[in-house]
Structure 1
């Protein structure tokens, strides 16, 4: 079972980019376990697509190539 650390209880602001263009933002958190650290976030933050239709959220069809975590 994963250990809950103080860091695991804090949400992190993440921003997704297509090349140099910011196309969305969201939240995530980190969980630690005996296997290492894991970033937990929603599927759409990774894929840039609607979960029901699988269509990209960004009007040009851009999907995230880069993701940055911004901490406190």
Structure 2
């Protein structure tokens, strides 16, 4: 599984960080970024999916 944040959609609400702080952070432009390049460890799959569902702007894309 890979996680991508669509920068144009992200408004910096930081919901993803609340749900999955091991996967997401906010950069200096107040846009969410994935902390993990490439495949996520399996132990983080559930929280990444939950963060994607919780994102109010649908800025998180999950690639299985």
When Rg is computed on C-alpha atoms for both structures, the one with the higher figure is 1
Report the TM-score, using the length of structure 2 for normalisation.
Answer: 0.29
Taking structure 1 as the reference length, what is the TM-score of the superposition?
0.27
Structure with the higher fraction of residues in helix conformation: 2
Whose strand proportion is higher, 1 or 2? 1
